[in-house]
Structure 1
Amino acid sequence: MGKPTKVLYREVQRPRHILWWVTILLVASFMWYWFIQQIIFGVPVGDKPAPDVFTIIFWLIFGVIFPVVMLGILKLIIEVRNDGIYIRFVPFHFQYEQFLFKDIHDYDNITHSQFKRFGGPGIRFNLKGETAYNLNGKEGIELRLKYETVIIGIQKPNEFKKALDTVQKKQ
């Protein structure tokens, strides 16, 4: 990745939408119920109960690890640096995704529906060849690159665009 460049704007988003919390907590609650009923009390769940090993594995994955990762670790980091825009969706990206200014043809603030345009939050793709990095809200920035369009969900789009404009003036 080379030498580090100066960060002009940084935003860290965490899941805030109620649907994230409700979905994850419902799944985790069911896993805890299943685990307690079948493993602790010895009462099989369902007509064809799963083996205890299967129950324990699913409980560990979806009752413990999944909620911790999704509600505790999950975050979207967005940075504007002197040479481009850097995005990291923790824990899915191990390195920053780079969008260098030399590859960006145009950009603009937008208001969009992440559910209508992309089917929800996260790293998403649609049939128009667009990619979205979005966790919260409707505000964002649309980057038009040579071969693709990238939508980045931003909480403070005016500050983000101001940082982009500052870098573009210097180049």
Structure 2
Amino acid sequence: MVCKPIIMVHGGAGSWSKIPKETKISAQQALKDAVTFGMEILKREKSAVEAVAEAIRILEDSGSLNAGLGSVTNSEGYMELDAGIMDGKKMDAGAVAAIRGIRNPILVAMKVMRETPHVILVGEGAQKFALSKGFKIDERINVKKDVKDISINIEKRSNWIHDTVGAIAISSDCDTAAGASTGG
């Protein structure tokens, strides 16, 4: 069976009309880049799961969405990130939750899926696993924000795109994959 390769991405739910124009433009560019790069992977490698992971990585790296570098903090002032990915071909999944300091939790979730018998690793255990696999702490997301920053963050949340970013893909081999990433 042959399928038409396709990838879809989303930048989170919420009120896009309340977002500052510069942030909206940056977010829209990240979404376009994620789709473009994901399609290149689907055409070149024919891997739905790789396309999904890399599309979400681009969204995490954008800093314009509530994932990766753009994550909002939790109520204690830390960025704790969650991500999950599912591989329809292998009927497998991997996830991390409440991981701190790692910019691309979607890539760690891929490692959990491919290299462990687990489906999800959480908190300090997820971070230790990521570090053991060569991921580095990114100090931009590894610091506790002070109380002033937290109040700014709460205000930011009220005008922010809430929820997760995500992607879903179908390869020319009709394999499917889906993933999501969120912060705060």
TM interval, shorter chain, is: under 0.3
Q: Which has the larger radius of gyration?
A: 1
**Normalising to structure 2: TM-score of the pair?**
0.26
Query: More strand per residue: 1 or 2?
Result: 1
**Normalising to structure 1: TM-score of the pair?**
0.27
